[in-house]
Homo-oligomer: A and B are copies of this chain.
Amino acid sequence: MVQYLSPRLDASFAALSDATRRGVLEQLGRGDASITELAEKFQMTLTGMKKHVAVLEQAGLVTTRKIGRVRTCQLGPRRLEEETAWLESYRQRWDERFDELDRVVEELTRKEKSDDSRNR
């Protein structure tokens, strides 16, 4: 099972919890972009966009390089493998848990029906 105690998961899920940051990742998936281009695209101040990019950079989801006065962003090294594994493992447990509850309900219904017919 994937360990829930992972500071990496904390950082990446927090980075993904903002619509603009998810949008920036989608945008960089189409091609590298400067902070200025991203700020324009998402109708945001440069300062605001810089903050979002910093959060993504700290989570390893974006890398930036500065050439002259332009800072260009590209997708970072992290492919969200650990995050996907956690979600998959959770969904599996979820399915098992609800299957189990279904079985309990079925069992109770069957028992009720047999009690009913005995009391008739």
Contacts and interface: CB of A to CB of B under 8 A. Distances in A.
B96 A29 contact: yes
Interface stretch (A1-9, A45-53, A65-73, A108-116): A1-9
Contacts of A7: 19
A44 to B, nearest CB: 14
Interface string A53-80: 0000000000000000000000100011
Copy count, this protein chain: 2
Given A13-B13, A30-B93, A83-B87, 14 more contacts: A1-B26, A4-B23, A6-B19, A9-B17, A9-B19, A10-B17, A11-B17, A17-B17, A29-B94, A29-B97, A79-B91, A79-B94, A84-B88, A84-B91
